[in-house]
Amino acid sequence: MEQRTEEWYEVRLGKVGASEIAKIINKKKNIKASYQKLVKNNYWKPTTELSDFNSNFAYPVIHPNRDKIVHELEKNGVEVRPMICGSMGTQPFYVKEYGKLELPNVTEIDRYGFYVPNNPHITDDEIVFISNIINGQIND
């Protein structure tokens, strides 16, 4: 994979665009760190290093109380997206060609996973609010 330098992006996006992208990436990295600190999910948490480059569109949560957590978040006006990762081993085209293949980790993620917002406009208070809702339903 080609390693791109800051100069490469500046040439293609212009200096203002590149500096804005850097701000957004840094902001989203800080939001992820806040969720990591605030969400008390002992069932599963992302394990990437905060120093790793990871520009995610949302923060993933995987927990058996997913339906309760999602219901409470949506009731409080928080946008939630499903973590779509259905097992390829159970899709009709795969089963027809190779037979059914159960993949327990993928099934668990599909059953229990969802995303909460990680956008550069979310405030610290909103992150705390979202985290508190998640924690309240995890411990319920």
Short-list 84, 86, 87, 58, CA closest to 73 = 58
Q: Tell me if the domain spanning 6-138 has CATH number 3.90.1150.10.
A: yes
Q: What is the pLDDT of residues 53-101, one digit of tens each?
A: 666 789 999 999 999 999 999 999 999 998 877 788 888 999 999 999 9
Angle between helices 6-38 and 124-138 (to 10 degrees): 40
What residue spans define the domains of the chain? 6-138
Q: What is the pLDDT of residues 3-38, one digit of tens each?
A: 555 555 555 556 556 677 788 888 888 999 999 999
Neighbouring-strand partners of residue 60: 115
The token pair at 97 is 């060609």
